[in-house]
Structure 1
Amino acid sequence: MKNITMKIVFLFILSMVCLTNCSQKKRPIQGETEFQKNLNATYKDATTSPLKDKDRKNFKGLDFFKFDSTYVVTAVLKRTPDTEYFEMQTTTEEVSKKRVFGVLHFTLHKKKHQLNIYQDQDLLEKEGFEDYLFLPFLDETNGLETYGGGRYIDAKIPEGDTFIIDFNKAYNPYCVYNEKYSCPLVPRGNFLKVKVEAGVKAFNNY
């Protein structure tokens, strides 16, 4: 079975805006926010969707938490310029070479938290994606309202040390929808001891 790396997924997520208009010609795209509409458009489109054909045919929209500004937090980015690339394990035999770009420090629900944010070695060589960052995380909704293996957020390198994390833009790894995809496993150190009730919910009880 062919494994498709999550690097392709990142290119889809970052280019979803242009896909919305094409999909809306057939029917209105569901979603409370532009991010939700764009993500739903990507999943509905046969050329970009991670869904299996049987799931895509009946697809009406992903299940999202209602947008909540509580989950748009301002973090302080502590950069780690001397870290080396390592092989991040995935859901398949493939590995994804990443390094810890920095550590995000922030407060959520009156508790202090920190998350490592990563830089992908291969994407550095892709024009237009040199500033891409990858933020995977686990939280206390996993296995309940959300996918048990955690979720991802895409981001870009900020000019300074202030970093906005919008958990409303958290999405599931593509392997949740189709096992042919190879998805990075969320490091255990990126577990938040709090419920993050924002972003995409679990798919078909997975």
Structure 2
Amino acid sequence: MSSHPSTAWLELLDWRREASALYARVREELRRDPESAHHLWQTGRNILFKTHSQSPLDPQARAAFQELPCWPYDPALAFSARVEAVEPQERLSVPSSTGQEMPLVRFGRVTLPLGTLDVYWIDVYGGGMFLPFRDATSGQQSYGGGRYLLDTAKSADLGSTPSDITASGELVLDFNFAYHPSCFYDPRWSCPLAPPQNVLGVPVRAGERVS
């Protein structure tokens, strides 16, 4: 955050608004052309990282920034999946990158061709659906702490198919939009890490990468 506290919170609010608007445009474009939606997402994130005061990058890194490295769009890594209920629902805490604990509720799972992932609700005020993962690229071609597929508290949400999720329970889970948490770019940020049960045994070469 910037040095003046009140200004910093307003800047953070603006970041959230800009991110929300970006994902709204991405969801709309995703219905027409997934590859175009992916380009829109990349372009929008690059602009925010380069120009916004609440960028995960510090000012020096922003000055040198060009673009976030991504694998080319791969339609074979785009899925829709029904959320299967898990009973009993489990409350747990996962460590963050700074050692703080993040309370989560494990309320469902999705079964994908790549493996099974648990789906969480962030158990704090406002909450949000949260789907982090690690895979065989983690720690080599992508961040060792994992990447995020969904984080609706931060507007990272690709929607559902069809749009009425209560009717279908199917989430759009496109790994081409997987992204690194802010702590990957600067240790001042505190980010929940992917828990051990959300590790895929295969490499997912889609979305953001290290370089």
Shorter chain as denominator, the TM-score bin is: 0.7 to 0.9
Per-residue CA deviation, residues 110-133 of structure 1 (Å, 9 max, x unaligned), is: xxx1000111122xx43xxx6x31
Instruction: Please state if 1:198 is matched with 2:203.
Output: no
Give the drift of 1:84: 3.9
Q: 1:72 to 1:13 in 2, by over 3 A?
A: farther
Instruction: Please state if 1:15 is matched with 2:20.
Output: yes
Report what 1:104 is aligned to. 110
Q: 1:12 to 1:118 in 2, by over 3 A?
A: farther
Inter-partner Cα distance in structure 1 for 2:107 and 2:80:
17
Inter-partner Cα distance in structure 2 for 1:13 and 1:140:
32
1:43/1:51 contact within 8 Å kept = yes
Give the drift of 1:143: 2.1
Inter-partner Cα distance in structure 1 for 2:133 and 2:90:
21
Inter-partner Cα distance in structure 1 for 2:81 and 2:210:
26
Output the TM-score relative to the length of structure 1.
Answer: 0.75
Instruction: Please state if 1:161 is matched with 2:157.
Output: no
SS in 2 for 1:183: coil
Give the drift of 1:85: 2.7
Inter-partner Cα distance in structure 2 for 1:74 and 1:39:
23
Aligned CA-pair RMSD: 2.7
Per-residue CA deviation, residues 76-129 of structure 1 (Å, 9 max, x unaligned), is: 310237414322211113211111121001114xxxx1000111122xx43xxx
Report what 1:3 is aligned to. none
Where do 1:57-206 residues align within 5 Å?
57-80=63-86, 82-108=88-114, 113-122=115-124, 125-126=125-126, 132-154=128-150, 155=157, 158-159=165-166, 160-202=168-210
Higher helix share: 2
Inter-partner Cα distance in structure 2 for 1:12 and 1:97:
24
Unaligned runs of 5+ in 2: 1-11, 26-36, 151-156
Identity %: 29
1:103/1:114 contact within 8 Å kept = yes
1:120/1:133 contact within 8 Å kept = yes
Output the TM-score relative to the length of structure 2.
Answer: 0.73
SS in 1 for 2:103: strand
Q: 1:15 to 1:161 in 2, by over 3 A?
A: closer
2:81/2:170 contact within 8 Å kept = yes
Q: 1:12 to 1:101 in 2, by over 3 A?
A: farther
Inter-partner Cα distance in structure 1 for 2:21 and 2:65:
17
Give the drift of 1:48: 2.4
Unaligned runs of 5+ in 1: 1-7, 21-30
